[in-house]
Amino acid sequence: MDNRVQIFDTTLRDGEQVPGCQLNTVEKIQIAKELESLGVDVIEAGFPVSSPGDFNSVIEISKAVTWPTICALTRAVDKDIDVAAEALRYAKHKRIHTGIGTSDSHIKYKFNSTREEILERAVHAVKYARKYVEDVEFYAEDAGRTDNEYLARVVEAVIKAGATVVNIPDTTGYCLPEEYGAKIKYLFEHVDGIDKAVISTHCHNDLGMATANTFEGIRNGARQVEVTINGVGERAGNTALEEIVMILKCHKDTDLYTNINTQKIYSLSRMVSNLMNMPVQPNKAIVGRNAFSHSSGIHQDGVLKNAQTYEIIDPKDIGLDENSIVLTARSGHAALKYRLETHGVNLSEEKLDKVYEEFLKLADKKKEINDDDILMLAGSERANDHHIKVDWLQATSGIGMKPVASIGLDISGEKFEAAATGNGPVDAAIHAVRQIIKKPVTLTEFTIQGVSKGSDDTCKVHMQVEHNGRIYYGFGASTDIVNASIEAYVDALNKFTAE
Ligand code: KIV
Ligand code: ZN
First and final CA of the chain: distance in angstroms? 52
- CA-nearest residue for atom 6, ligand 1, is 141
Q: Select from 439, 460, 446 the least CA-distant residue to 289.
A: 460
- For residue 103 and ligand 1, the question of a CB distance below 6 A is answered with no
Q: Quick one: which atom of ligand 1 is closest to the CA of 10? A: 8
Res 289: pLDDT: 80
Res 369: pLDDT: 80
- For residue 14 and ligand 1, the question of a CB distance below 6 A is answered with yes
Architecture of the structural domain at 6-275: Alpha-Beta Barrel (3.20)
The CB density around residue 177, as the number of other CB atoms within 10 Å, is 18
- For residue 171 and ligand 1, the question of a CB distance below 6 A is answered with yes
Give CA separation, 44 vs 57, 200, 242, 384, in Å: 11, 14, 17, 31
Mutate to test the pocket of ligand 1, among 73, 96, 138 (most ligand atoms within 8 A of CB): 73
- CA-nearest residue for atom 8, ligand 1, is 14
Q: What is the CA radius of gyration of the chain?
A: 25
Q: Select from 98, 91, 86 the least CA-distant residue to 42.
A: 91
Q: What is the 442 CA–ligand 2 centroid distance (Å)?
A: 30
293 CB-near residues (< 8 Å, 6+ apart): none
- CA-nearest residue for atom 2, ligand 1, is 171
- For residue 141 and ligand 1, the question of a CB distance below 6 A is answered with yes
- For residue 497 and ligand 1, the question of a CB distance below 6 A is answered with no
Ligand nearest to the CA of 169: 1
3-state helix, strand, coil in the chain (%, to 5): 45, 20, 35
- For residue 106 and ligand 1, the question of a CB distance below 6 A is answered with no
- CATH 3.40.50.920 for domain 386-497, yes or no, is no
- For residue 491 and ligand 1, the question of a CB distance below 6 A is answered with no
Res 301: pLDDT: 66
Show the low-confidence residues of the chain (pLDDT under 70): 293-304, 322-326, 342-344, 367, 380-384, 451-453, 498-499
Asked if residues 288 and 246 have their Cβ atoms less than 8 Å apart, the reply is: no
- How many alpha carbons lie under 13 Å from residue 429 in its C-beta half-sphere? 23
Q: What is the 477 CA–ligand 1 centroid distance (Å)?
A: 34
Asked if residues 263 and 317 have their Cβ atoms less than 8 Å apart, the reply is: yes
Give CA separation, 75 vs 38, 131, 195, 209, 359, in Å: 29, 16, 25, 26, 47
Q: What is the 341 CA–ligand 2 centroid distance (Å)?
A: 31
DSSP 204: B
